[in-house]
Amino acid sequence: MRALVVSDVEDKALWDYYTPGRVKDVDLILSAGDLDADYLEFLVTMTNKPLFYVHGNHDTAYRQSPPGGCIDVDGGLYVYRGLRILGLGGSMRYKDAPFEYTEREMRRRIRRLTPRIRRAGGFDVLLTHSPAAGVGDLPDHVHRGFECLGELVERWKPALMVYGHVHLSYGAGMEREHEFGCGTRAVNAFGKHYLDVEPVGTLPHPWMEPMINARCLRDGEKSADHGFLPGTSGTAFGSYRQW
């Protein structure tokens, strides 16, 4: 599948100077955070493709006005066309603010998701705002990555990690792509970037997909009235407790 990944800076070519056909052959959009909600709404409207997002440390306005028509996967697991997307937004805590976490707090978030990951047989894409420690991060505290994110990748070996937070404009020599020891690609979504991604595994049972997605929407306090949400009606909502 072809993915458009975005984070941190609204791309003028996709917003101010957008023309029909500028984004083509894209199957989904992944937002790694710190973007205007209106920008995400514009992208999902103009492309008519699903947009999955996590929160950046500057996305506090999402608490009152989340981007409409987009799917919040922060702290959840969602399956789209067989692609299992795990979301863990936020940055290292450097002040008292939402969407900032200590290493211990991020580890706790991962532990809460582990039973769901195990039941889904793993995940294919890890969508975060912060990078993992030592893989695309910077030495200062604000832009330091989480060690537990790297451990999560090494344990489950997804095909791809998409992150933001570290701007490629910070200086010369900044690289967009890195690789974990297990072979997982780590891609910095700063601005915009296109890439291909395919599932590295499958759900143990196809009927799990609607339950996983219904639970993800429930966790994000989302309604099921936007598009691209297969199987989010009927018994799926009544069966999420096992997730």
Domain limits of the chain? 2-221
Q: What is the mean pLDDT of residues 35-56?
A: 96
Residue 48 has pLDDT above 60, yes or no: yes
Question: Which residues share a beta bridge with 3?
Answer: 28, 195
Angle, vertex CA 47, rays to CA 43 and CA 53, nearest 5? 45
Q: Name residues whose C-beta falls within 8 Å of residue 108's C-beta, 6 or more positions apart in sequence.
A: none
- pLDDT reported for residue 234: 29
- pLDDT reported for residue 140: 94
CATH classification (class only), 2-221: alpha beta
Q: Using a pLDDT cut of 90, give the percent of the chain over it.
A: 81
> Average per-residue pLDDT in the chain?
89
Query: Torsion angle of alpha carbons 158, 162, 166, 170, nearest 10°?
Result: 110
Beta strand pairing call for 83-88 and 77-80:
antiparallel
Place of tokens 């790297």: 150
pLDDT tens string 150-192: 999 999 999 999 999 999 999 878 999 999 999 999 999 999 9
- pLDDT reported for residue 23: 81
pTM for this predicted structure: 0.90
* Residue 188: burial class (beta carbons within 10 Å; 0-12, 13-18, 19+): buried
Contact call for residues 102 and 93 (beta carbons, < 8 A): yes
Identify the band that residue 221 occupies on the pLDDT scale cut at 50, 70 and 90. low
Full DSSP string of the chain: -EEEEEESS--GGGTTT--TTSS-S--EEEE-S---HHHHHHHHHHH-S-EEE---TT-GGGGTSPPTT-EE-BTSEEEETTEEEEEE--EE-SSS-TTEE-HHHHHHHHHHHHHHHHHTT--SEEEESS-BTTBS--SSSTTPPBHHHHHHHHHH--SEEEE-SS-GGGSTT--SEEE-TTS-EEEE-BEEEEEE---SS--SSTTHHHHHHHHHHHHTT--S-SSS-TT-STHHHHTGGG-
Task: Count how many residues are written for the chain.
Answer: 243
Spatial distance between the Cα atoms of 84 and 237, rounded to a whole number of angstroms? 19
- pLDDT reported for residue 171: 83
pLDDT tens string 113-136: 999 999 999 999 999 999 999 999
- pLDDT reported for residue 94: 93
- pLDDT reported for residue 21: 76
Place of tokens 């989010």: 232
Contact call for residues 32 and 163 (beta carbons, < 8 A): yes
